[in-house]
Amino acid sequence: MTDPAVAKLQALVRIPTVSDRDASRVDPTTFDRLVEELRTQFPRVHQQLELTRVGTHGLLFRWPGRGADRPVVLMAHLDVVPAGATARWQHPPFDAEIVDGAMWGRGTLDDKGCVAAICEAVERVLETGHEPAQDVWLSFGCDEEVSGTSARSAVEELERRGVQPWLVLDEGGAVAHDAFPGVKRPVAAIGVAEKGTTSVELRVEGRGGHASTPARNGPTVRLARAILRIDRSPMPARVPDITIELMRRLAPHLPLPLRPVLSRADRLRPLVGKALASAGAEAAAMARTTFAVTMLEGSPALNVIASTAIAGVNVRVMPGDTVDDVLTHLRRVVDDPEVRIRVLERGEASSVSDTDEVFDHVATLVAEHFPDAVVTPYIQAGATDSRHFTRICSHVYRFAPFRMTAAQRRAIHSYDEHLGVDSFLAGIDWYQGLIEGLPA
């Protein structure tokens, strides 16, 4: 028999709330349906909490507690990325089928699993009659996947009300299995900062013409050369203090020859940087600003030489680097005046949140619920809505209380996204423990 909470998540996943940077391509009726489905599936949340709509479909709930001096904000987002018309899904992306103990579908991990787990935890606590020690706010954005305005509007509403959160918790880190080579235990990674997200366009223009008479170094060739140069010349490795702390916490769980090296990571930063850069994509992303060529545009026909060739580059800016540093690096590496470099979206890295008693409060709860995991702070590569909250809170953390294998993490924004049913239910328990354990 399906747990009622699981059925609630299925109902949310089956509504394809796909966001797009072009508002004309967004189907607002899907978001209307989702907002109404949330009301149906979580009636106590809507009956007993105060709701403010933000943006087009963003939701901001206030749950009054016994005190309001240390309010808490629990975050997630309602929108998802496209499923991909040609992606090789084992199970239809919006059917939310349960197969092999997991729910398969777009949004299970990113991020409707958190939406449903938070709401179900609140429902349970409301049912018991427990009054939280502090005000609890629920902030559910509707355009996180396209760097939209919903979260900024929620921050503005909190500022208008004079709310200064003690803690903000969004998606991001997780209880990651197979996360680091040599570490057999899962790693419960709590994001205390996130890389900036910047989008850059590379454009080369030329005469174009008939494919039967190609000239040397046409637009597509110059663009391809520029892409290869970027790929072969990454920015220097950078190992910030948070990553050093992560290494220190992982050191006791590594094979013996590596333990003394990582336990002294603060004195061996260049070596640590090189090790991370060569330890796989996830580890390498922790060591430097990254570049991913994501979109290409060229000729409209096979027998036409492109007059314009364009590449889109997604840049994740490491704390300590700036967008200006990125542009300087790109111009130097590309080294071709015919390749025009233009910033489409400028996003600096977030500030680094404090790792004091507030972090320890969250980390302790993580350790209690996931005793086999190594709990550690880290710098998150992906962008979240929580970056907007850093201007009103110095304790913004990113953690989804779900176990995730390497295969699951690879499926985020790809095909075969899925969340283990037991992991989802354990996540509900974690959120409930967080709410009930807020300090007075």
Confidence of residue 179 (pLDDT cuts 50, 70, 90): confident
By three-state DSSP, how is residue 168 classified?
strand
**Cα(15)–Cα(143) distance, rounded to whole angstroms?**
15
Cα 326 to Cα 1, 96, 295, 316, 329: the distances in Å are 53, 40, 19, 10, 5
Question: Which whole number is the average pLDDT over 227-248?
Answer: 91
Which stretches within 42-149 are classed as H helix? 43-48, 112-128
Q: Please give the mean pLDDT across all residues of the chain.
A: 94
- Is residue 387 over pLDDT 90? yes
Confidence of residue 1 (pLDDT cuts 50, 70, 90): low
- For 328, residues 6+ apart whose C-beta sits below 8 A from its C-beta are none
Among 208-212, 275-279, 393-397, 429-433, which stretch is predicted with the lowest mean pLDDT?
275-279
Phi then psi dihedrals of residue 9, to 5 deg: -65, -40
Q: What is the pLDDT of residue 391?
A: 95
- Is residue 261 over pLDDT 80? no
Q: For the chain, count helices (H), then strands (E).
A: 14, 17
Tell me the pLDDT tens digit for each residue of 117-148: 999 999 999 999 999 999 999 999 999 999 99
Q: What is the pLDDT of residue 282?
A: 78
Tell me the pLDDT tens digit for each residue of 144-163: 999 999 999 999 999 999 99
Question: Which whole number is the average pLDDT over 50-71?
Answer: 97
**Cα(270)–Cα(259) distance, rounded to whole angstroms?**
17
Both tokens of 436, joined, read: 């009930």
- Is residue 403 over pLDDT 70? yes
- Is residue 266 over pLDDT 90? no
Cα dihedral sign for 377, 383, 389, 406? Answer: negative
- Is residue 298 over pLDDT 90? yes
Question: Which whole number is the average pLDDT over 84-88?
Answer: 85
Which stretches within 335-420 are classed as H helix? 357-369, 406-411
Tell me the pLDDT tens digit for each residue of 304-361: 999 999 999 999 999 999 999 999 999 999 999 999 999 999 999 999 999 999 999 9
Confidence of residue 278 (pLDDT cuts 50, 70, 90): confident
Confidence of residue 99 (pLDDT cuts 50, 70, 90): very high
Question: Which whole number is the average pLDDT over 413-420?
Answer: 97
% of the chain surpassing 90 pLDDT:
82
Confidence (pTM) = 0.92
- Is residue 258 over pLDDT 80? no
Please report the domains of the chain, with CATH numbers, ordered by start residue. Answer: 4-193+354-436 (3.40.630.10), 196-345 (3.30.70.360)
Q: What is the pLDDT of residue 106?
A: 98
Question: Which whole number is the average pLDDT over 3-24?
Answer: 96
Q: Is the separation of the CB atoms in 419 and 174 below 8 Å?
A: no
Angle at 411 between CA 423 and CA 18, to 5 degrees: 95
- Is residue 176 over pLDDT 70? yes
- Is residue 100 over pLDDT 80? yes
Q: What is the pLDDT of residue 77?
A: 98
Cα 317 to Cα 261, 282, 388: the distances in Å are 27, 15, 16
Which stretches within 182-294 are classed as H helix? 219-232, 241-250, 259-263, 269-277, 281-285
Confidence of residue 255 (pLDDT cuts 50, 70, 90): confident
